[in-house]
């Protein structure tokens, strides 16, 4: 590698900054840097081309691309920030604010770099910064570029380990970011949006109002089915099995075919479909019992697969889940069509990409044989080639919005299921011939109830912001200015910081000397559902801003 004339260096210490500093909306890392300005084309063009190909743009929240010519510190900082943000988002980290470079007062060659991070990802983000700086300051030949790949793989793995497991988290946080709603991290990928008495807490699509008993009920698929069957709702016949459970003509009693699934897994994990004989059933049960203590065997019902999303007793969205497939063009083989489909950016399979890769020809071999096809066969133009029987997005399925065509009876069926189970948010899976016709007319089967559904980043991204608006009351708890001359009869719902004293709702105390203790008191006020109003002097406002993002003072 040859060193470039654009020489970045980092000076210790690397410190954390809170939201509110330098008008930053997300907290992160503050780096001291030295950057001699020098015109420079994009670093390591081969590496940049590789990054462009391998790391797709975020599928929400556009980034401003960097300049093709780096003319000094600010351009280089933009390049660094752009790729840092793009790689963070690709790893699934909800980071929406662009990094900021601030020149030092005494020299334009020295400055500070504000790098927003997701809670818990500081070290992994700093390692990514170091890797990007290596790319930025070196001209590299192909051999050197190859040497940079393994370190990046390790950095990305560490970033993904810090990311929330559900795409709902990032979508809700982005909706709050767009609406400038206050956000407080509660740890473990849980967040509070809003403050005091006007708040909602979110763990993916669990809310602070999700009943624990309801969530525990639907986590047990067999118990849920029995519960709903007793209420007269359409549930397939079922049986619960353990390793030593006798089959005793089970298939004959349920009717063929049957489906076997782990009792407490979601997303199509471990599901075995269209089982026709006891030998295949035994193998399926054994596989399910490696994932769960119990296996659920159900009558296999047929029809189109729908997911209806319910909030507060009302159906708010519906999709049809279409199994993984490709469509022939009369030119390309099945294998080539699969490669074309999986090359699409939205099927990247990483960082909560909207869709997941479809199965390759080897994984789909048995299903291809049933359709009279092989990997090298060339399907006719328009011929649909099924690659999986599972409709789940995790298995490469494609969700299609059908809410506008949803029959009111079917919407009410889903809403009724959620209400009976006691869930504020739910995903109700139905199998039926046609969602546009009433289930009373054409029949339907309730297949599953999900207490923590994926709301739908592919078809229903608009719902995240709308749901936040529905969850939060119109009248918000306000933060207001106060001074030592303000005279007021403070009540239990008030929290006040003025003149070095704090009002806790019932009594005054002296303001703590420690900044950490002051910030802790601010956080306590923001989290407390009994808090109806917050009154702050200038000093109090400074440390309140460190406790949450996007706070506003009246």
Name the residue among 364, 354, 372 with its Cα closest to residue 390: 364
* Burial of 169: CB neighbours in 10 Å, binned 0-12, 13-18, 19+: buried
3-state helix vs strand vs coil in the chain, percent to 5: 35, 25, 40
* Burial of 9: CB neighbours in 10 Å, binned 0-12, 13-18, 19+: exposed
- Give the integer Cα–Cα distance in Å for 64 and 233: 52
- Give the integer Cα–Cα distance in Å for 304 and 163: 33
CA distances from 484 to 354, 487, 499, 523 (A): 53, 8, 6, 23
* Burial of 510: CB neighbours in 10 Å, binned 0-12, 13-18, 19+: exposed
What are the E-state strand segments in 331-444?
384-386, 398-401, 425-432
Encode the chain (554 residues) as per-residue pLDDT tens digits. Answer: 444 444 556 666 788 888 877 778 899 999 887 765 554 555 667 777 888 888 888 878 888 888 777 777 778 888 888 999 999 999 999 999 988 888 876 666 678 889 999 999 999 999 999 888 877 766 556 666 677 788 899 999 999 999 999 989 999 999 999 999 999 999 999 999 999 999 999 999 999 999 999 999 999 888 999 999 999 999 998 888 887 788 878 888 888 899 998 987 776 788 888 888 888 988 999 999 999 888 989 988 989 999 999 999 999 999 999 999 999 999 999 999 999 999 887 787 665 677 889 999 999 999 999 999 999 999 999 999 999 988 888 888 899 999 999 999 999 999 999 999 999 999 999 999 999 999 999 999 999 999 999 998 889 999 999 999 999 998 999 999 998 777 788 999 999 999 899 999 999 999 999 999 999 999 999 999 999 999 999 889 988 988 898 998 88
Residues 6+ apart with CB under 8 A from 298: 225, 236, 237, 238, 239, 254, 258, 259, 260, 261
Q: Which residue has the tokens 């049957």?
A: 258
Name the residue among 335, 455, 337 with its Cα closest to residue 399: 455
Q: Identify any residues that bridge with 307 across adjacent strands, giving them in sequence order.
A: 319, 429
Strand pairing report for 533-536 and 479-481: parallel
Name the pTM for this structure.
0.89
153 neighbors 63 (Cβ within 8 angstroms): no
What are the E-state strand segments in 416-456?
425-432, 445-450
Name the residue among 240, 538, 235 with its Cα closest to residue 413: 235
């Amino acid at each position: 590698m040859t060193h470039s004339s654009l020489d970045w260096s980092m000076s210790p210490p690397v410190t954390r900054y809170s939201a509110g500093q330098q008008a930053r909306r997300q907290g992160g890392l503050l780096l001291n840097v030295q950057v001699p300005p020098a015109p420079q084309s994009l670093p390591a063009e081969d590496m940049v081309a590789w990054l462009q190909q391998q790391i797709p743009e975020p599928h929400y929240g556009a980034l401003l691309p960097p300049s093709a010519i780096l003319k000094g510190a600010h351009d280089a900082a933009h390049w660094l920030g752009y790729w840092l943000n793009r790689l963070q988002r690709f790893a699934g980290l909800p980071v929406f604010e662009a990094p900021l470079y601030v020149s030092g007062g005494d020299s334009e060659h020295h400055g500070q770099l504000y790098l927003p991070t997701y809670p818990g990802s500081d070290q992994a983000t700093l390692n990514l910064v170091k890797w990007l700086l290596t790319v930025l300051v070196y001209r590299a030949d192909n051999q050197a570029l190859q040497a940079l790949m393994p370190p990046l793989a390790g950095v990305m793995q560490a970033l993904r380990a810090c990311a929330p497991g559900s795409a709902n988290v990032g979508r809700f946080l982005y909706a709050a970011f767009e609406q400038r709603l206050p956000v407080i991290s509660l740890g473990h990928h849980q967040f509070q949006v809003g403050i005091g008495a006007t708040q909602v807490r979110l763990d993916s699509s669990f809310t602070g109002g999700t009943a624990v008993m309801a969530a525990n009920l639907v986590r047990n698929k067999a118990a849920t089915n029995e519960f709903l069957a007793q209420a007269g709702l359409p549930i397939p016949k079922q049986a619960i099995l353990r390793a030593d459970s006798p089959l005793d003509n089970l298939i004959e009693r349920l009717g063929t075919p049957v489906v076997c699934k782990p009792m407490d897994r979601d997303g199509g994990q471990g599901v075995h479909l269209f089982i026709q004989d006891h030998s295949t059933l035994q193998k399926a049960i054994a596989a399910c019992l490696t994932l769960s203590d119990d296996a659920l065997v159900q009558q296999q019902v047929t029809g189109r697969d729908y997911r209806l999303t319910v909030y507060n007793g009302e159906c708010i969205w519906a999709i049809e889940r279409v199994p993984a497939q490709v469509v022939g063009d009369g030119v390309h083989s099945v294998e080539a069509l699969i490669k074309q489909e999986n090359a699409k950016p939205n099927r990247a399979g990483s960082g909560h990409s909207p869709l997941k890769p479809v199965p390759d020809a080897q994984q789909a071999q048995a299903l291809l044989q049933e359709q009279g096809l092989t990997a090298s066969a060339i399907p006719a133009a328009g011929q649909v080639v099924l690659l999986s029987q599972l409709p789940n997005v995790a298995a490469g399925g494609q969700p299609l919005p059908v809410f506008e065509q949803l029959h009111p009876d079917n919407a009410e069926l889903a809403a009724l299921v959620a209400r009976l189970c006691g869930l504020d948010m739910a995903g109700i899976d139905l199998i039926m011939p046609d969602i546009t016709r009433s289930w009373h007319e054409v029949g339907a089967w309730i297949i599953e109830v999900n207490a923590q559904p994926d709301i739908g980043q592919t078809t229903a991204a608009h719902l995240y912001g709308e749901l936040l608006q529905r969850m939060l009351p119109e009248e918000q708890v306000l933060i207001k200015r106060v001074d030592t001359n303000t005279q007021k009869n403070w009540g239990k719902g008030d929290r006040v910081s003025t003149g070095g004293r704090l009002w806790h709702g019932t009594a005054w105390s002296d303001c703590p000397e420690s900044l950490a203790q002051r910030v802790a008191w601010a956080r306590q006020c923001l989290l407390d559902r009994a808090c109806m109003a917050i009154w702050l002097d200038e000093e109090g406002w400074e440390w309140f801003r460190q406790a949450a993002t996007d706070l506003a003072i009246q």
